[in-house]
Copies of this chain bind each other. A is one copy, B any other.
């Protein structure tokens, strides 16, 4: 159950405090020139220690490709890769061996497997998402050949909400701020909010929004694998995610049908819709409009303040984590959201080749 995708498949491996994090991408077509600098760029957007509002764990996070590439091109064969772990400080976790951190996977892990690598979260660590960012970066490169762009950004931190609709934002400015919000003024408020949480030894959650442009009409499946169902599945598989909505989302359910429907209009570029409450997907299949969605991230569970808990003998105790942790997951999660969206879309791109003869 560590494989994602139907045709373009990522199988990931590795633990936070093991040798490294890596994966195998199977089903990538042959003949694609791989730009490893772009992969490294996405990894650097995800990596710890990148700014004052992220954890200070310092990992170079340099990817090493082990197979499937020859003379710079994909060979149609499995592309394997690894990012070695360097700066682990496993001893910081010694005190967690027999105690369950609240709202972490420690307790559920031991219930599932009967065994647990107590040094960090094992597979539950967000460090696993390195594998997704590498594979997603490759997927973005395949999609880029078809003029498809995927741009995520932070749209809410705690109560600090970006008020401007995405259609009026310049999404190329997202990485100009360390919080990855494209509106400078909101970004500053978000940074202040995160710093306040950090000063408090506390954490804060929020929302990442994502916009996909350029997907042609006709991708997605009508029943279980609706395009938005696959996107939602991908997003809900990211650490700390609590919700997913696309197009008009939860708010749109308050509208009446006559307000919500996207009427079709005739344009010189073909059939379009006047509004886009559908978020670019109708009946599970893309309609050629922008695809956009929101992903809710809870506040990170690791606090640097003492909390009540129990140990593995079910005896009450307290816990005070050491280690270096993020006060807010959102800035580093932006490339992860993009990567998972790319994996879904490249899969449906390949599936779309099979619809008709």
Taken residue by residue from 59 to 84, chain A's Cβ proximity to chain B (1 for < 8 Å, 0 otherwise) reads as 00000001110100101111110100
Given A76-B113, A159-B254, A256-B197, A264 and B310 contact (CB-CB distance below 8 Å): yes
State whether A252 touches B283 (Cβ < 8 A). Answer: no
Does A124 lie at the interface of the complex (its beta carbon under 8 Å from any beta carbon of B)? Answer: yes
The segment out of A23-31, A35-43, A168-176, A183-191 that lies at the interface is: A23-31
The segment out of A47-55, A98-106, A331-339 that lies at the interface is: A98-106
Extra 19 A-B pairs, beta carbons < 8 Å, given A108-B286, A250-B296? A12-B223, A13-B77, A18-B67, A20-B67, A76-B355, A104-B282, A108-B283, A109-B285, A203-B258, A204-B257, A224-B237, A229-B236, A233-B233, A242-B253, A243-B253, A255-B299, A260-B301, A264-B310, A353-B354
Min C-beta distance of A32 to chain B, whole Å: 7
- Taken together as a complex, chains A and B put the C-alpha atoms of A227 and B156 apart, in Å, by 26
Query: How many copies are assembled?
Result: 4
Chain A stretch 304-322: residues in CB contact (< 8 A) with chain B: 305, 307-310, 314-316
State whether B206 touches A123 (Cβ < 8 A). Answer: no
Instruction: Tell which of B3, B112, B242, B281 touches A76, judged by Cβ atoms closer than 8 Å.
Output: B112
Chain B contacts for A19, CB-based, 8 A: 66-67
Nearest chain B residue, comparing its CB with the CB of A297: B253
- Taken together as a complex, chains A and B put the C-alpha atoms of A217 and B106 apart, in Å, by 12
Pick from A197, A216, A233 the residue with the most CB of B within 10 Å.
A233
Instruction: Tell which of B115, B296, B299 touches A245, judged by Cβ atoms closer than 8 Å.
Output: B296
State whether B31 touches A113 (Cβ < 8 A). Answer: yes
Taken residue by residue from 210 to 224, chain A's Cβ proximity to chain B (1 for < 8 Å, 0 otherwise) reads as 000000111111111
Does A136 lie at the interface of the complex (its beta carbon under 8 Å from any beta carbon of B)? Answer: no
State whether A301 touches B261 (Cβ < 8 A). Answer: yes
- Taken together as a complex, chains A and B put the C-alpha atoms of A9 and B9 apart, in Å, by 14
Chain B contacts for A114, CB-based, 8 A: 30-31, 355-356
Q: How many residues of A contact B (CB 8 A)?
A: 151
Chain B contacts for A145, CB-based, 8 A: 357
Chain B contacts for A66, CB-based, 8 A: 13-14, 18-20, 22, 82
- Taken together as a complex, chains A and B put the C-alpha atoms of A232 and B282 apart, in Å, by 18
Taken residue by residue from 231 to 274, chain A's Cβ proximity to chain B (1 for < 8 Å, 0 otherwise) reads as 01100110100111111111011111111111111100011011
State whether B77 touches A15 (Cβ < 8 A). Answer: yes
Pick from A4, A105, A219 the residue with the most CB of B within 10 Å.
A105
Given A12-B223, A109-B222, A100 and B264 contact (CB-CB distance below 8 Å): yes
- Taken together as a complex, chains A and B put the C-alpha atoms of A8 and B334 apart, in Å, by 33
- Taken together as a complex, chains A and B put the C-alpha atoms of A305 and B257 apart, in Å, by 10
Min C-beta distance of A343 to chain B, whole Å: 10
State whether B303 touches A258 (Cβ < 8 A). Answer: yes
- Taken together as a complex, chains A and B put the C-alpha atoms of A243 and B351 apart, in Å, by 24
Min C-beta distance of A161 to chain B, whole Å: 10
Chain B contacts for A107, CB-based, 8 A: 217, 264, 271, 282, 287
Min C-beta distance of A126 to chain B, whole Å: 11
Chain B contacts for A308, CB-based, 8 A: 263-265, 274
Taken residue by residue from 130 to 174, chain A's Cβ proximity to chain B (1 for < 8 Å, 0 otherwise) reads as 000000000000100100000000001011000000000000000
Min C-beta distance of A28 to chain B, whole Å: 10
Return 26 A-B CB contacts under 8 Å, by A number. Answer: A1-B351, A2-B77, A3-B11, A13-B24, A30-B114, A70-B117, A77-B222, A104-B283, A107-B282, A108-B281, A112-B217, A142-B357, A145-B357, A197-B257, A202-B256, A203-B256, A206-B253, A224-B233, A224-B237, A225-B237, A226-B237, A232-B233, A242-B248, A252-B296, A265-B308, A266-B315
